[in-house]
Amino acid sequence: MKKILIIEDEKNLAENIKEFLSEEGFIVEVADDGYEGIKKANKFLPDIIVSDINLPKKDGYEVLEEISKNEKLCKVPFIYLTGKVEKEDLRKGMLLGADDYIFKPFKLDDLLHSINVRLKKIDVIQFSSKLNLRDEKLSPDDKVFVKFNKQIQVISVKDIKYIKAQNPYVLLKCKSNKTALIRESIKKWEEKLPEKLFMRIHRNTIVNLDCIVKIEKFSKTNYLIKLADEAEPFFISKRFASRLISHKII
């Protein structure tokens, strides 16, 4: 569950926001002044911070400036709640690194939309970074973000049915039969995916072993593999046929 810190000195507004976001599945903490907000941020380590600008003790600008110096918090999205609309105020916040402004009075749904947009962006960045870490293996239960028809969705690694090279992309197909084109090489995917669950059966193809429903001998050294709900079988070349034996599939 994602954690959100609300820094707001109007208690009724803060409680309304907390109740609303809690019902949306977030873990929410509230601070009623800038000093307490910084203190709670360091302890709570939120995934996103929503802060008023006009705050007691330390204003919203000072809060963001302080948080930006903290390695654990400097990349946390920061959304301002404000009644100010002057260009100077907007510019000051943006120069400090603010991600968005929500102007009072506002609809809670607008705040929720802004939060979700920022969190999704962070998730995509983290996923992209994970794919680019050469030494980091994915486990079957790891979650990855895949763009299906312009919409980013979360899937488990174990829900990937197969990956097939289509230069300069790879075609990823899920057990749900959704497909996506991803700009990552087949070699990189082979390095990332758990070896006990996925096997490369061709220079262009990786399959999920749990999805294999039938294996037929095609020739003396070659095989055809049938995957669940796939009309056409997959050819496994002589070069990769030995992997069937090593995985104790044949």
Is the confidence at residue 63, as pLDDT, over 80? yes
Check whether 112 has a pLDDT greater than 80.
yes
**Mean pLDDT within 217-221:** 77
Which CATH superfamily hosts domain 3-130?
A: Response regulator (3.40.50.2300)
What's the pLDDT band for 130 if we cut at 50, 70, 90? Answer: low
Provide the β-strand partners of residue 9: none
As a whole number of angstroms, the distance between CA 29 and CA 39 comes to 12
Tell me the pLDDT band of 128, cut-offs 50, 70 and 90: low
* pLDDT for residue 27 is more than 60: yes
pLDDT in the model for residue 52: 93
Interval 45-66 mean pLDDT? 93
Look at residue 221 and tell me whether its pLDDT is greater than 80: no
In DSSP terms, 209 is beta-bridged to none
Topology adopted by domain 143-246: OB fold (Dihydrolipoamide Acetyltransferase, E2P) (2.40.50)
Spans of all domains in the chain:
3-130, 143-246
Q: Which one is predicted more confidently, 149 or 228?
A: 228
pLDDT band at 247 (very low <50, low <70, confident <90, very high): low
With a cut of 70, say whether residue 3 has pLDDT above it. yes
How much is the pLDDT for 223? 84
pLDDT at 94: 78
Whole-angstrom Cα distance, residue 63 to residue 108?
23
Q: Which pair of structure tokens corresponds to residue 195?
A: 């070896």
